[in-house]
């Protein structure tokens, strides 16, 4: 039994509430097979009108379609004829920064990383993932801020590596 405001679908026969925007015209429910049946019925009704019988035939309509296709190239392929040029919002980050870093008592010079460890190869400053991680962790959006933070972190990493090398050398040189 239909509730107030419900309508019976002309395809599947179930009761449904029509969409409030097309309440007076909706005759099919929103199930996929019923939507296909609705589309077929509306196309058949359109074609059955005498003024639409020759809509797709004749030289006038051929010219109309050809003009539309010329105005919309690439429509049938699903992609535009020319892709729009994408401009980056910012320039790319510099690969490796070799300029001087703010000097403190602990950070007086930049040491080149040793090439014997895999960690140094993995975490090079030119990795886009590292730049994105730095931007995310420090909530940075400007390229200059990301670059200065990267320089600071690289220097801190060099300091840690130097301390660990000095610590290892002190342990191996000491005689028990």
Q: pLDDT at position 169, please?
A: 63
pLDDT of 129 > 90? The answer is: no
- Round the average pLDDT of the chain to a whole number and report it: 76
pLDDT tens column, 77-113: 776 666 666 666 666 665 655 555 554 455 445 455 4
Q: Which of 64, 131, 138 is nearest to 91 (CA)?
A: 131
Percentage of the chain modeled with pLDDT above 70? 65
Across the range 117-132, mean pLDDT stands at 60
Helical residues (DSSP H) of 48-142, grouped into ranges: 59-71, 118-122, 128-137
pLDDT beyond 50 at 132: yes
Q: 34 near 17, Cβ under 8 Å?
A: no
pLDDT of residue 171: 58
More confident residue, 173 or 82: 82
pLDDT exceeds 70 at position 45: yes
> What letter would DSSP give residue 52?
G
Check if the beta carbon of residue 118 is closer than 8 Å to that of residue 163: no
What is the C-alpha to C-alpha distance for residues 30 and 17, in angstroms, rounded to an integer?
10
| CB-based contact 14:35 (threshold 8 Å) | no
């Amino acid at each position: 039994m239909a509730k107030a405001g419900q309508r019976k679908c002309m395809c599947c026969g179930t009761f449904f509430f029509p969409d409030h925007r097309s309440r007076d015209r909706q005759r099919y429910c929103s199930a996929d097979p019923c939507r296909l049946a609705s589309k077929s019925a509306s196309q058949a009704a359109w074609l059955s009108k005498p003024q639409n019988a020759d809509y797709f035939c004749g030289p006038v309509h051929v010219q109309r379609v050809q003009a539309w296709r010329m105005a919309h190239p690439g429509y049938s392929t699903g992609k535009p004829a020319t892709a729009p040029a994408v401009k980056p919002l910012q320039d790319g980050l510099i690969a490796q920064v070799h300029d001087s870093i703010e000097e403190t008592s602990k950070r007086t010079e930049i040491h080149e990383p040793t090439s014997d460890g895999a960690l140094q190869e993995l975490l090079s400053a030119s990795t886009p993932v590292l730049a994105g991680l730095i931007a995310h962790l420090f909530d940075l959006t400007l390229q200059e801020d990301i670059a200065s933070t990267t320089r600071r972190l690289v220097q801190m990493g060099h300091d840690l590596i130097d301390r660990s090398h000095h610590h290892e050398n002190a342990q191996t040189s000491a005689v028990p």
